[in-house]
């Protein structure tokens, strides 16, 4: 296996409440970016409705759906661009063609996109080992947890 190229990654979360929610947010995408950081990559989180990317970024990831307006903010940036696709509902195939790669959460979404000739990779999600709650080991993805009941 070859040596991994270290990159500066700008991840965009175009949402008006992203900055407010970010400090307490925990999911597979955040854990995946933390893992990239442990491997030596630099990950810059660009939060909110009009964040700016570092001009020296090697790769820009946009976390959103296929109709995310975020691409317009970074289309002229020299870096390659990828989309962390959040849903296949209302999927706009022509918008997906703008990206160098689409990262889908589930194989069924990959299977929907692949016939259109778009580079798509199953890359993250709650069905991977990136989803690890930090305090509640008994909470597992896809399962209703049994929590203790405390009566007042």
> Model confidence over 93-108: pLDDT tens digits?
999 999 999 998 888 8
Mean pLDDT of 78-83: 93
Q: Is the dihedral of CA 92, 130, 3, 61 positive or negative?
A: positive
User: Cα separation of 46 and 26, whole Å?
Assistant: 16
Task: Specify the pLDDT at position 132.
Answer: 45
Task: Specify the pLDDT at position 133.
Answer: 45
Task: Specify the pLDDT at position 119.
Answer: 95
Give CA torsion, residues 9, 13, 17, 22, to 10 deg: -40
Task: Specify the pLDDT at position 51.
Answer: 74
**Per-residue pLDDT tens digits for 21-62:** 888 887 778 888 888 899 999 999 988 877 777 888 999 999
User: Cα separation of 12 and 105, whole Å?
Assistant: 17
User: Cα separation of 70 and 83, whole Å?
Assistant: 10
**DSSP symbol at 139:** -
**Per-residue pLDDT tens digits for 105-148:** 888 899 999 999 999 998 865 444 444 444 444 444 444 445 55
pTM metric for this prediction: 0.75
């Amino acid at each position: 296996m070859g040596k991994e190229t270290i990159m500066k990654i700008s991840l965009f979360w175009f949402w008006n409440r992203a900055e407010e929610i970010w400090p307490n947010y925990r999911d597979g995408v955040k854990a995946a970016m933390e893992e990239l950081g442990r491997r030596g990559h630099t990950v810059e989180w660009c939060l909110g409705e009009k964040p700016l990317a570092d001009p020296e970024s090697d790769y820009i990831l946009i976390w959103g759906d296929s109709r995310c307006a975020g691409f317009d903010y970074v289309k002229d940036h020299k870096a390659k661009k990828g989309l962390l696709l959040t849903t296949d509902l209302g999927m706009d195939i022509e918008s997906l063609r703008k990206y160098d790669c689409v990262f889908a959460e589930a194989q069924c979404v990959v299977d929907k996109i692949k016939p259109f000739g778009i580079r798509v990779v199953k890359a993250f999600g709650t069905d991977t080992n990136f989803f690890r709650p930090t305090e509640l080991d008994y909470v597992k993805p896809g399962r209703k947890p049994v929590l203790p009941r405390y009566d007042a």
